[in-house]
Structure 1
Amino acid sequence: MTKRKTLFITGASSGIGAATARVAVAAGWNVGLMARSADKLDALARELGDSSLAVAGDATDLAAQEDAIARVAKHFGRVDAAFANAGMGLDTPGTEAGDPEEWRRMIDLNIMALLYTTRAALPELRKTKGQLVLTGSVAGKLHIAGSIYGATKWFVQGYAGNMAQEMREWGGRCTLIAPGMVDTPFFSEPKPDKLKPEDIANAVVFALSQPAHAAIPEIVVMPTG
């Protein structure tokens, strides 16, 4: 019997992260779940059962991510993939009108937390020749007037390609998932005609399911509407 692989997910309590946990477990994976909302995380872990482990914590804290990865690796015996998914946008867009403190929080989550996931996970991923998955955005592929959020996703776009080059040296893979607009709690108002979190979750699990000789460096998912 093949041992179940393990996926670590940040931003796992809702939206794309929670949907990915559900799709991954249905596909035969164990999942380690990290988010700040302990109540939501515990509820998701109860739903998913023994194939999941909830580790509440702040993704912008490197030590918290290192602890979470270590606990997941000890609990399941391995970490085969890490999904750096936690992220946020801005309530007040623009540079002149924007809030510098909000910029800092966004940069800490969209960029630093993603780097922390990578740093914390790489020692375990080397053991399994595993895979790193990063949540980018179509906003990181286009120039959008004055978008600071989009600029953080340009970082993710570039970093994903750089990590793919580094990880291939030891048999690992890195995949960027670049969604268009997704109907998640990320937005203050529902977006019923846009993508669903499950659409992105399916893309993540598709990338993870490829044989070792096949790398998918990027998946762009757009709403048809």
Structure 2
Amino acid sequence: MADKTLFITGASSGIGAATARAAVQAGWNVGLMARSADKLEALAGELGDKARALPGDATDLAQQEEAVAATVEAFGGLDAAFANAGMGISKPGTEQGDPEEWRKVVDLNIMALLYTARAALPELKKRKGHLVLTGSAAGKRHIAGSIYGATKWFVHGYAGNMSEEMRDWGGRCTVIAPGMVNTAFFDEPKPDKIQPEDVADAVVFALNQRETADVREVFVMPRG
């Protein structure tokens, strides 16, 4: 386990940072990508030699490719990639929504996720690796007018399609579907909802399954 390596986007805070901590505790090396260089460096410093800070924009395919290559160079290979970067919408609905905001949400929630898969798959194939995607409870039910939810429906559909594709060469794909998570995603703290560490535990659970098990979805809801 100590030789396994995980690449994470959106790694500077929230679910991404919590997953980095949980993965290192479980014996993984981590390549950490996000736009916030200061936060990434602080997190990598906290985690030590098993982490590399890789500042960059997940919506840029070339930057993701460079980050994956740097992770492989640092640790000798890639066993898993976690496409976690994402954002919500401040002006919900279609009629009242902001088309510029829609473009940003699609670029990050969909295109950046596809770029993670595109950049990581050549390396994952070498080790029969694992692709993990951050979905949402919003991608499992219809919410009136939710464009954010529609982007997560894409993630869930794509995850199923990738599971079928990756099984041909021994790989696995898992979508993590949390309900409301207490992160900076929301303007107000949500202490009674899912904590980032809860989602991180779900990611590590999926990654650490034996080769005979293919966990395709983990659905996590708050108790409160």
**Shorter-chain TM band:** over 0.9
Distance 2:79 2:145 in 1: 38
Other-structure match for 1:20: 19
Aligned-pair distance for 1:213? 1.5
Aligned pairs for 1:175-214 (under 5 A) are 175-214=174-213
Residue deviations 1:192-223 (CA, integer Å, cap 9, x gap): 11000000000000000001111000000000
Other-structure match for 1:51: 50
Aligned pairs for 1:78-117 (under 5 A) are 78-117=77-116
Distance 1:117 1:180 in 2: 23
Aligned-pair distance for 1:3? 4.8
Residue deviations 1:42-94 (CA, integer Å, cap 9, x gap): 00000000000010000000000000000000110011000000000011111
Could you state the TM-score of these two structures normalised by the residue count of structure 2? 0.99
Residue deviations 1:154-203 (CA, integer Å, cap 9, x gap): 00000000000000000000000000000000111101110000000000
Distance 1:99 1:80 in 2: 39
Aligned pairs for 1:61-72 (under 5 A) are 61-72=60-71
Does structure 1 conserve the Cα–Cα contact (< 8 Å) formed by 2:2 and 2:29? Answer: no
Q: Secondary structure at the match of 2:154?
A: helix
Whichever residue aligns with residue 8 of structure 1, its letter is: F
Distance 1:164 1:68 in 2: 24
Residue deviations 1:98-139 (CA, integer Å, cap 9, x gap): 110000000000000000000000000000100000000000
Whichever residue aligns with residue 58 of structure 1, its letter is: D
Does structure 1 conserve the Cα–Cα contact (< 8 Å) formed by 2:31 and 2:71? Answer: yes
Q: Which sections of structure 2, spanning at least 5 residues, go unmatched?
A: none
- Number of residue pairs the alignment of both structures matches: 224
Large movers: runs of 4+ above 4 Å: none
Other-structure match for 2:161: 162
Distance 2:86 2:44 in 1: 21
Other-structure match for 2:37: 38
Whichever residue aligns with residue 70 of structure 1, its letter is: A
Distance 1:100 1:192 in 2: 32
Residue deviations 1:3-28 (CA, integer Å, cap 9, x gap): 52000000000000000000000000
Q: Secondary structure at the match of 1:159?
A: helix
Other-structure match for 1:10: 9
Q: Secondary structure at the match of 2:190?
A: coil
Whichever residue aligns with residue 45 of structure 2, its letter is: R
Whichever residue aligns with residue 101 of structure 1, its letter is: E
Distance 2:208 2:106 in 1: 31
Other-structure match for 2:140: 141
Could you state the TM-score of these two structures normalised by the residue count of structure 1? 0.99
Q: Secondary structure at the match of 2:31?
A: strand
Whichever residue aligns with residue 76 of structure 1, its letter is: F
Distance 1:4 1:190 in 2: 37
Distance 1:99 1:125 in 2: 37
Other-structure match for 1:217: 216
